[in-house]
Structure 1
Amino acid sequence: MENSTTHNAAGIVNAAIKQAIAAYAEELTDIRRKLHSEPELSWEEYETTAFVCRYLDALGIPYRRTEPTGVIAEIVGGLPGRTVALRADMDALPVEELDRELAYVSKETGKMHACGHDAHTSMLLVAAKALIGVQAELPGTVRLVFQPAEEAAAGAKEMVRQGAMDGVDNVFGMHIWSQMPTHKVACAPGPSFASADLFTVTFKGRGGHGAMPQDCIDAAIVASSFVMNVQSIVSRTVAPKQSAVLTVGKMIVGTRFNVIAENAVIEGTVRCFDAQVRDHIQRELGHYAQQVASIYGAEAKLDYVRGTQAVINEEQSALRAQRVAAAAFGADVLYDEEPTMGGEDFSFYLDAVPGSFALVGSGNPDKDTQWAHHHGRFNIDEDALATGAELYAQYAWAYLNE
């Protein structure tokens, strides 16, 4: 009888959360459009932070601001229990919005929410509003983390430093995903997002007149040789069953058509899922740079900056997210999305506590929302907002009731 009563009570709360999200659907869209039209770059999210605080004030949810931007809030349930954290990022990108016909087009030249963080913030705010409605029944605490500077791969690490995961038992986050159909949810155990690192290789040769190459060490030749050879690090020194990407995205070399270049600077990125592969590629980059330089008598210097860690979903947390999504929206909502080589600094939360990171589909060609993230025409199918908001709230409720 007790189990039946408990199950019925949980079902009532599940229904209450679903009804609340449905009731707030128009408000949810309005919030997202407001945030979309007022984008702020990493570490500049002052107005977004202020808006979040005003919204939380209206709900009576206590919070503290983090420095320089960001908010950590808590909904303390009426019953004792554990603490689960829900995270939403807030920053936009230095990208020009190309669809100028949108009613909510970016008001800031050269800035737009080209990745969906406006949606994440909106969904978490409305999820908080739904959870306030069942606060008395919550057995524990829901911490709300509104994070700056995800695009700079630094915000999550700073939020952790400022106490975002202190006392937290589990953490859950999500990302709107234009490569998946609207409403679909993916959250598989194991790798989800790759580590994302930046490298810079500087070659120094000996410049001179273009008519006298015998007196020079041509940095353009050295750099070109490096770019042509460096791909073999992945293709010939990493096991085929391991995933890795090494991309050279920028090369700066030369000053004039008839001057042999003395210096060359190459910038690129490394993405992978395995920590040992990451270490190996970093070592090999230095080795390749030195060896290529030595062939031509040049000098080489490698600067390697580690960005985000790989996002590895803890198994129990990922399976919980799947159960919650299936219970809330039906079993056919689950989607098998391959891990992406994109980076996500949610990884720093997972270094602190167990958790998982879900993808919520928002791609709909009929609404022109299938564009890639970071593209100037990126947009979302706003029907996905309610899916994300409910997933946030239902995950917190499910975790605290286990």
Structure 2
Amino acid sequence: MGFSKGVFLIVYLLLVFFKPSLSNFSLSSKELSEVPINFLKSAKKSEVFDWMVGIRRKLHENPELGYEEFETSKLIREELDKMGISYKYPVAVTGVVGSIGSGKPPFVAIRADMDALPLQEKVEWAHKSKNPGKMHACGHDAHVAMLLGAARILQENRELLKGTVLLVFQPAEEGGGGAKKMIDAGALENVEAIFGLHAASHLPLAEVASRSGPLLAGSGFFEAVISGKGGHAAIPQHSIDPILAASNVIVSLQHLVSREADPLDSQVVTVAKFQGGGAFNVIPDSVTIGGTFRAFLKESLIQLKQRIEEVIMGQAAVQRCNATVNFFSKEKPLFPPTVNDKDLHKLFQKVAGDVFGTDGVKDMQPVMGSEDFAFFQEVIPGYFFFLGMKDDTMKQIPSPHSPYFRINEDALPYGAAMHASLVVRYLLESQTETPMGTGDFHDEL
């Protein structure tokens, strides 16, 4: 054995037995904690901030509903092209999946939803929606801008990526199950973890909130047509009144939560739609009701669905009416509960603490809202959090899905920095140590 081979063998054995951590080898703990701070500084630079704001406003002016986000995805692809980031398109009709890094494992993803809501905007400002009856009333325009901001930061710091980051621009979050279609299209193939965020106009700027475990409820939608026999309101005995039947249905549906559900198992059934009739003195032939049901346990969600159908059919029959029930299983699949991975929660706390300080990282209680990000979490570990965007200049803060909804654009750098920091930290900490001498190397002893 020659001297050089003997030295190499010693080094090889040391590496095998001591297995130094790649993240420690690459960056010290101090340097690691400075990455999010540096990313935030980059995102706050006027050049980057103004660019993100410009993207967000373009999207706000041109909102598109689920699976119709053709111009939205075109803008995204144009920006990725400018940054030299490769991507796949179309994925799930209008979705885009970008890729930054080595192109090799480990793979980690960050996601933004792209779709708007069928609302007429009532906020008067220079960038009001130009598409009648459509509005970005949930902050998805900001989500896209922040993910593009993260892409820019990551592309400029590619040397920190010990693996591959996928940028998931997802269609149809608002009830369309876009996440499920992205999965079915193979968007998460080989991905080990995924992160997502949502704008929160009620949280102060420079704060984030989340929790380990159940965060948001699972949900479903239903619509029922209750049919009777129309007639003159003055002689109801000659009619079969579907309005009366529907009223009894609505009252009975509330008993599913108050009298059938475990009080410790949070559930909601809400009828938010009631359509039928058009005159004060005419009993209509039919009415349509619809709404949503929610629960934190998937079993409870399935049970609610079954009982909703039984109650509607049964109560309609009591009033001599017929009923049909639609749960939109194809257009609006049941959303599973959003459950955050406990290990990713620890990672989130470390990264968010570096970005916002410990006082800016809040634990939150579970909320009955739902998110189709949960579809991702059914197949791989995922983590979802809320980013504070409160505008202190506003006396009243409109809720999401309101025609008066607004966001604070000063929050965009924070979202971009969080996205970028989470995946960099994940890749550094998830590296598997490969001892020197493995792979294609061959030594003759």
What SS does the corresponding residue of 1:383 show, helix, strand or coil? helix
Which of 348, 355, 359 is residue 321 of structure 1 equivalent to? 348
5 Å-filtered alignment, 1:51-66, equals: 51-66=75-90
Q: Does 1:350 align with 2:342?
A: no
Q: Does 1:233 align with 2:256?
A: yes
What SS does the corresponding residue of 1:108 show, helix, strand or coil? coil
Q: Does 1:69 align with 2:94?
A: yes
Q: Distance in 2 between matches of 1:50 and 1:316?
A: 36
Which stretch shifts more, 279-288 or 346-355?
279-288
Number of residues of Structure 1 aligned to a counterpart in Structure 2: 400
> Do 1:187 and 1:321's aligned partners in 2 also have CA atoms closer than 8 Å?
no
Which of 6, 19, 24 is residue 41 of structure 2 equivalent to? 19
Which residue in the other structure is 2:368 paired with? 341
> Do 1:196 and 1:308's aligned partners in 2 also have CA atoms closer than 8 Å?
yes
What SS does the corresponding residue of 2:379 show, helix, strand or coil? coil
> Do 2:36 and 2:354's aligned partners in 1 also have CA atoms closer than 8 Å?
no
Partner AA of 1:99 in structure 2: V
What SS does the corresponding residue of 1:49 show, helix, strand or coil? helix
Give structure 1 stretches of 5+ with no counterpart.
none
- By how many angstroms is 1:211 displaced? 4.2
5 Å-filtered alignment, 1:240-319, equals: 240-254=263-277, 256-305=279-328, 306-319=333-346
Partner AA of 2:94 in structure 1: T
Q: Distance in 2 between matches of 1:317 and 1:18?
A: 21
Q: Does 1:43 align with 2:67?
A: yes
Structure 1 residues 112 and 255, CA, compared in 2 at 3 Å: closer, same or farther? closer
Which residue in the other structure is 2:228 paired with? 205
Which residue in the other structure is 1:393 paired with? 420
> Do 1:36 and 1:106's aligned partners in 2 also have CA atoms closer than 8 Å?
yes
- By how many angstroms is 1:43 displaced? 1.7
What SS does the corresponding residue of 1:365 show, helix, strand or coil? coil
Q: Distance in 2 between matches of 1:225 and 1:164?
A: 45
> Do 1:369 and 1:381's aligned partners in 2 also have CA atoms closer than 8 Å?
no
Partner AA of 1:382 in structure 2: E
> Do 1:39 and 1:112's aligned partners in 2 also have CA atoms closer than 8 Å?
yes
- By how many angstroms is 1:255 displaced? 5.5
Q: Distance in 1 between matches of 2:216 and 2:299?
A: 16
Q: Distance in 1 between matches of 2:207 and 2:148?
A: 21
Q: Distance in 2 between matches of 1:240 and 1:11?
A: 43
Which residue in the other structure is 1:192 paired with? 215
What SS does the corresponding residue of 1:335 show, helix, strand or coil? strand
What's the TM-score once normalised by structure 1's chain length? 0.92
> Do 1:153 and 1:344's aligned partners in 2 also have CA atoms closer than 8 Å?
no
Which stretch shifts more, 223-232 or 234-243?
223-232
- Write the deviation string for residues 35-68 of structure 1: whole angstroms up to 9, x where unpaired: 2222222222122111111111111111111253
Which stretch shifts more, 172-181 or 312-321?
312-321
> Do 1:318 and 1:355's aligned partners in 2 also have CA atoms closer than 8 Å?
no
What SS does the corresponding residue of 1:107 show, helix, strand or coil? coil
Q: Distance in 1 between matches of 2:280 and 2:400?
A: 38
> Do 1:202 and 1:263's aligned partners in 2 also have CA atoms closer than 8 Å?
yes
Partner AA of 1:222 in structure 2: A
- What percentage of residue pairs aligned between the two structures are identical? 38
Which of 403, 426, 432 is residue 376 of structure 1 equivalent to? 403
- By how many angstroms is 1:209 displaced? 4.2
Partner AA of 2:356 in structure 1: F
Partner AA of 1:192 in structure 2: L
Which of 112, 121, 128 is residue 97 of structure 1 equivalent to? 121
- By how many angstroms is 1:25 displaced? 2.1
- By how many angstroms is 1:121 displaced? 0.6
Which of 144, 150, 166 is residue 127 of structure 1 equivalent to? 150
> Do 2:160 and 2:424's aligned partners in 1 also have CA atoms closer than 8 Å?
no
> Do 1:251 and 1:266's aligned partners in 2 also have CA atoms closer than 8 Å?
yes
Structure 1 residues 262 and 110, CA, compared in 2 at 3 Å: closer, same or farther? closer
- By how many angstroms is 1:393 displaced? 0.3
Structure 1 residues 14 and 392, CA, compared in 2 at 3 Å: closer, same or farther? same
> Do 1:367 and 1:381's aligned partners in 2 also have CA atoms closer than 8 Å?
no
Partner AA of 2:116 in structure 1: A
Which residue in the other structure is 2:7 paired with? none
- By how many angstroms is 1:256 displaced? 4.5
Which residue in the other structure is 2:189 paired with? 166
Q: Distance in 2 between matches of 1:85 and 1:368?
A: 37
What SS does the corresponding residue of 2:27 show, helix, strand or coil? helix
- By how many angstroms is 1:10 displaced? 3.1
Which residue in the other structure is 2:434 paired with? none
What SS does the corresponding residue of 2:265 show, helix, strand or coil? coil
Q: Distance in 2 between matches of 1:290 and 1:46?
A: 40
> Do 2:88 and 2:97's aligned partners in 1 also have CA atoms closer than 8 Å?
yes
Partner AA of 2:162 in structure 1: P
What SS does the corresponding residue of 1:357 show, helix, strand or coil? strand
> Do 1:185 and 1:325's aligned partners in 2 also have CA atoms closer than 8 Å?
yes
Q: Distance in 2 between matches of 1:217 and 1:108?
A: 42
Which residue in the other structure is 2:9 paired with? none
Structure 1 residues 98 and 89, CA, compared in 2 at 3 Å: closer, same or farther? same
Which of 106, 111, 116 is residue 87 of structure 1 equivalent to? 111
- Considering fraction of residues, name the structure with more strand: 1
> Do 1:223 and 1:264's aligned partners in 2 also have CA atoms closer than 8 Å?
yes
What SS does the corresponding residue of 1:267 show, helix, strand or coil? strand
- By how many angstroms is 1:249 displaced? 1.3
What SS does the corresponding residue of 1:115 show, helix, strand or coil? coil
What SS does the corresponding residue of 1:169 show, helix, strand or coil? strand
- Write the deviation string for residues 363-382 of structure 1: whole angstroms up to 9, x where unpaired: 22324682111111211111
Q: Distance in 1 between matches of 2:146 and 2:373?
A: 17
